[in-house]
Structure 1
Amino acid sequence: MMVKHILADKGQDVFTLRPDATIMDALSSLAEHNVGALIVTDADMAVKGILSERDIVRAISRHGRAALDRSVAELMTSKVRTCTEESTVPELMETMTTGRFRHLPVERDGRLIGVVSIGDIVKRRIQEIEREAEEIRSYIASA
């Protein structure tokens, strides 16, 4: 199973911010879209960073309320791991587990085209396991 199949099912909606947005802007966007991370992009949709709920919690812990007025560029994770439409679910599981993160931007030709979350991966794996179990039950019943 590849990322392109996941994006075909869930859609390619992705919520982004510009690096000069404030953390308060980011909080509003996270709440509005009910997501756990935002991808930071430039005007050409090139990935510049990612800002997660964890990043914001750490910033508030360190800087208090003043963190809310800081720019996204100051607090985002700038070394972002990405994947492509051809990446497989096992590859994503390995990458996310090793890197201890829950969101992977999907790029095509250096431009953001989607995001895959750990929830997307778990949902897909559960569907695959249920399908395999049903095939085994059908095989046994027909024997």
Structure 2
Amino acid sequence: MTVSSILKDKGRDVATITPEATLQDAVNMLAARRIGAIVVTDFADRVAGILSERDIVRAAGRNGGDALTEPVSAHMTREVVTCAVDDSTEKLMEMMTAGRMRHLPVVQDGKLVGIISIGDVVKRRIADAELEAESLKAYIASG
């Protein structure tokens, strides 16, 4: 299975924010959408960074409540690992495990086209395993 098939099922909607927005803006968006990370994009819809709940907690730990008035750009991860629509779920699992990441923006032709979470990958792998098990049962029963 590929990123494309996951996006086909879950959709391509991605929560984004600008680097100039405040951490408070990001917190509000994360809470409203019930998500764990937000992609920071520039004016051309290119990935400029990613901001996760962990980044916000670290900022609050360093600067207390004052961190919420600071720009997203001060706390985002700038070197973002991304994936492509034709990447396999196996490759995603390797990338996420190696980089200890829970979210991978999907980029095509330099533009953000989706986001994949570790939950999306696990859900797909479970569905694939269940389908394989059912196919094997049907094969054995017909034999």
Task: Report the alpha carbon displacement of residue 46 of structure 1 after superposing the two structures with TM.
Answer: 0.3
Which amino acid is the alignment partner of residue 15 of structure 1? A
Which amino acid is the alignment partner of residue 98 of structure 1? A
Task: Report the alpha carbon displacement of residue 62 of structure 1 after superposing the two structures with TM.
Answer: 1.1
Match of 2:131 in 1: 131
CA distance, structure 1, for counterparts of residue 126 and residue 63 of structure 2: 40
| Matching of residue 2 in structure 1 with residue 6 in structure 2 | no
| Matching of residue 20 in structure 1 with residue 20 in structure 2 | yes
Task: Report the alpha carbon displacement of residue 11 of structure 1 after superposing the two structures with TM.
Answer: 0.4
| Matching of residue 105 in structure 1 with residue 105 in structure 2 | yes
Task: Report the alpha carbon displacement of residue 140 of structure 1 after superposing the two structures with TM.
Answer: 1.1
Match of 2:39 in 1: 39
Offset from partner CA, 1:39-62 (integer Å, 9 cap, x none): 000111000000000100111111
Task: Report the alpha carbon displacement of residue 117 of structure 1 after superposing the two structures with TM.
Answer: 0.3
CA distance, structure 2, for counterparts of residue 52 and residue 62 of structure 1: 16
Figure out how many residues of one structure are paired with residues of the other and give that number: 143
Which amino acid is the alignment partner of residue 46 of structure 1? R
Match of 1:57, SS?
helix
Offset from partner CA, 1:4-52 (integer Å, 9 cap, x none): 0000110000000000000000000001111100000011100000000
Question: In angstroms, what is the RMSD of aligned CA positions?
Answer: 0.5
Which amino acid is the alignment partner of residue 52 of structure 1? S
Deviation beyond 6 Å, 4+ runs, structure 1: none
Give 1:39-58 correspondences, 5 Å limit: 39-58=39-58
CA distance, structure 2, for counterparts of residue 136 and residue 2 of structure 1: 22
Gaps of 5+ in 1: none
TM-score scaled to structure 2, two decimals?
Answer: 0.99
